[in-house]
Structure 1
Amino acid sequence: KLSRFLPLRDIVLLTGLRRVGKTTIIKQLVEELLQEVKPELIFYVSLDAYGLEKHSIHEIVTRYRTIHRLGLDQKIYVFLDEIAFKEDFQRELKDFYDNENMKICASASSASILRDKKAYLTGRTRTIEILPLDFEEFLVFRNAKIKTADAYLLENYFMEYMQTGGLPEYVLTGDIVYLSELVDSILYKDIIAFHNIKDPAIVKDFFRLLMERAGKIITLNKMAKILGISLDTVRRYMEYFKETYMVYTVERCGKLNQRLRTGKKLYAGDVGLRNMATGFRDRGAVFENMVYLKIKQHNPCYIYEDGNEIDFFFKDTLMEVKFREKLKDKELRLFEKIPAKEKIIVSEWQEYMKLR
């Protein structure tokens, strides 16, 4: 799907959770290009490679043009993996965009790094977030060729998907050590080291608390009391985790004062990470988390009224998630009361698969 952006002049920035598949997608784009473009006009480089730390992106790309005798007017396709390893990349990309015939596609694993404080890239980029595998992609990775009639097999795979989540390498290997090391890598590289945090243990506790609260309304004051840290620290840490795509938050629907008075709902960036931290329990919360990731692109909010809650509202669609349960009487009355063009109750994997 991303290949449609290649003819456009915009710089394509791929973001998302670490190991979600950004590098694989970039290499797939390169493979597609090779069917139409000469190999020497395609340059892929991982900027975290040993030996490149002292060289600017401009030096690296200029060296490539020189080796292949490509003038600045010759269009080349440049794929820059892990662009966050270059501190001044926004200015360098702007210079390329303004002065060279070049299509650029880059990747990064932290939204904070992509912040363009000096607005170098304003109007020049198209940012695309890569999410973990959805269930259909999970089936492809598991090489599951199932006929529609074999519903029981699909259900078995779906329960497996609920437990493993959608990080590609973990889906392929099932290696829990890999998942644990991935979490450590994100915590230390993208949060503790990047933000110069002096107490790593608090960050680990913060992660576990977030995973336990996935699918629930959170209040920052309560989190501060549980962890014994200040409210300002909780606010900062929450932003750090959101910037690394470990968690997402959903606001309450309504006026500003209603949104400010009520906590946000929290969801894990991948249910496999959540299950690793908490164990595979509270399947209702896991299922709701999966539904959120499926509809995330619609920017849903949640409805809260008189102590009752409806999980999602977006584009005149009301949606309640109840894994293999029915709505309670009060929930049903609220669900029927709220006006919406479409009302959906998601309680089984078949309904999940219909979501778009």
Structure 2
Amino acid sequence: MNIKRPEYLKFLLDWQDKQIIKVVSGIRRCGKSTLFDLFQEQLLAQNIQQEQIININFEDAEYENLCEYHALYKYVKDRMLPDKMNYIFLDEIQHVADYQKAVDSLFIKKNADVYITGSNAYFMSGELATLLSGRYIELKMLPLSFKEYTSAFPSIISKEELYRNYVYNSSFPYTVNLTDRRNIHAYLDGIYNTVVLNDIVTRKNIQDPSMLKSVLKYMFDNIGNLCTAKKIADTMTSAGRKISPRTVENYLDGILDSLLMYKVSRYDIKGKEYLKLQDKYYLADIGLRYYLLGTRNVDQGHILENIVYLELLRRGYQVYIGKAGNTEVDFVAQDYDGNTEYYQVSWSVHDESTLQRELKPLASINDHNLKVLLTMDNDPPISYNGIRQKYVLDWLLDK
């Protein structure tokens, strides 16, 4: 089942034929290759000929001989039509040694429209970023949003049931085709081990994969909690697994580079400054948490917080944890124009003391920016002195 990804597809259509390299990054299996398929269908619908489309997926053994930039450049150049625009798709290009040289050589041709994907953050770092500075635009892709996920199922299924399946079964696109929990577990096992072994252990030259797994379990179990490398190292050491904060930092760099997790820094709302200490971490897919940890010690509030964080990323915001005096705002969301919105997330605020606790940080902010309290309470929208309370599933569905 190919689920439509309208926002991502619009991005590619908006940049079509513009003299800039289109880069799509995202964790493995989040749907980058399918997005290319959907976009190529759009190209054909525009009466662009199949011969104008050159598509290479470097995870296909058929193209293994092209994993060297001279060979790749020659292969593509020999297939380009001289008198028409050529649409060049290079999928999982991090497998090609020095690929940036081939990409740059293709980019400078007037009849080449170049699109590339990669499954980690570091493939767009270092030499490539330097060589192609100012020549590329990046689309950061995530697994399915809740809205995209619900589009794959009959409307008779309630939003609440769909949400439970969304977080428990995973938001990776292919899982909507799997109904058996054992098959979903096996599929997530493949993603997890590929990411850990290929994108973290190999890349960071980690000598103790079992320690990395222990750190990952800790991180998965502490989404939405303030973390430091020292705190993680102390926890591991107290459990009999001695590790230094420096080694933990190396592991965290690998985890973030693999796009398995995202780090969210803190922002002092009143002081208007970014804080360097104590970050929070959120998962690219909550289903991986259930895969690795099972259903024990599940904090549904933090899981909902994780879902809201990812949705804010999808909507194009820069996201921070807000410090408001002695209180904390779950998310400060800033758009590209510098507009700011504040979000507090709580599973339920039917208890009056919980409601007051969640409202307090937002109420302490004196500016007139949007302030929203998102909960799983399916109540009519209500306002508390300008703070809007919304049913989070409607918000996720953009209602």
The normalised TM-score by structure 1 is 0.90
Q: Tell me, in whole angstroms, the C-alpha distance in 2 between the residues paired with 1:256 and 1:210.
A: 29
Q: Give the aligned residue type for 2:232.
A: M
Equivalent position of 1:299 in the other structure: 318
Q: Is 1:353 paired with 2:368?
A: no
- C-alpha change, 1:24 and 1:171, in structure 2 (3 Å) is same
- Per-residue CA shift, 1:215-245, capped at 9, x if unaligned? 1111211111223211111112111111111
Q: State the Cα distance separating 1:60 from its structure 2 match.
A: 3.7
Q: Give the aligned residue type for 1:59.
A: A
Whose relative contact order is higher, 1 or 2, with alpha carbons under 8 Å and at least 6 apart? 1
Equivalent position of 1:342 in the other structure: 370
Q: Tell me, in whole angstroms, the C-alpha distance in 1 between the residues paired with 2:324 and 2:81.
A: 63
Q: Residue 222 of structure 1: which of 231, 238, 245 is its match?
A: 231
- Per-residue CA shift, 1:141-197, capped at 9, x if unaligned? 2x3235xxxxx8122212222322311112321511110221011000111112221
Q: Tell me, in whole angstroms, the C-alpha distance in 2 between the residues paired with 1:168 and 1:323.
A: 26
- Per-residue CA shift, 1:69-111, capped at 9, x if unaligned? 733x542111011100012111211111124521111110011
Q: What is the count of residue pairs matched by the alignment? A: 347
Q: Is 1:38 paired with 2:49?
A: yes
Q: State the Cα distance separating 1:303 from its structure 2 match.
A: 2.4
Equivalent position of 1:322 in the other structure: 346
Equivalent position of 2:100 in the other structure: 90
Q: Residue 175 of structure 2: which of 162, 170, 179 is its match?
A: 170
Equivalent position of 2:143 in the other structure: 132
Equivalent position of 2:134 in the other structure: 123
Which sections of structure 2, spanning at least 5 residues, go unmatched? 1-9, 237-241, 334-338, 379-390
Q: Give the aligned residue type for 1:343.
A: K
User: Are the aligned partners of 1:253 and 1:303 in contact in 2 as well (CA < 8 Å)?
Assistant: yes
Q: SS of 1:158's equivalent? A: helix
Q: Tell me, in whole angstroms, the C-alpha distance in 1 between the residues paired with 2:170 and 2:252.
A: 22
* Worse overlay, 223-232 or 37-46: 223-232
* Worse overlay, 182-191 or 166-175: 166-175
1:23-172 superposed matches below 5 A: 23-35=33-45, 36-55=47-66, 56-66=68-78, 70-71=81-82, 74-99=84-109, 101-117=111-127, 119-141=130-152, 143-146=153-156, 153-172=158-177
**CA RMSD, Structure 1 to Structure 2 (Å):** 2.3
Q: Tell me, in whole angstroms, the C-alpha distance in 2 between the residues paired with 1:245 and 1:93.
A: 23
The normalised TM-score by structure 2 is 0.81
Q: Is 1:266 paired with 2:260?
A: no
Q: State the Cα distance separating 1:7 from its structure 2 match.
A: 2.0
Q: Percent identity?
A: 25
Which sections of structure 1, spanning at least 5 residues, go unmatched? 147-151
Q: State the Cα distance separating 1:62 from its structure 2 match.
A: 3.1
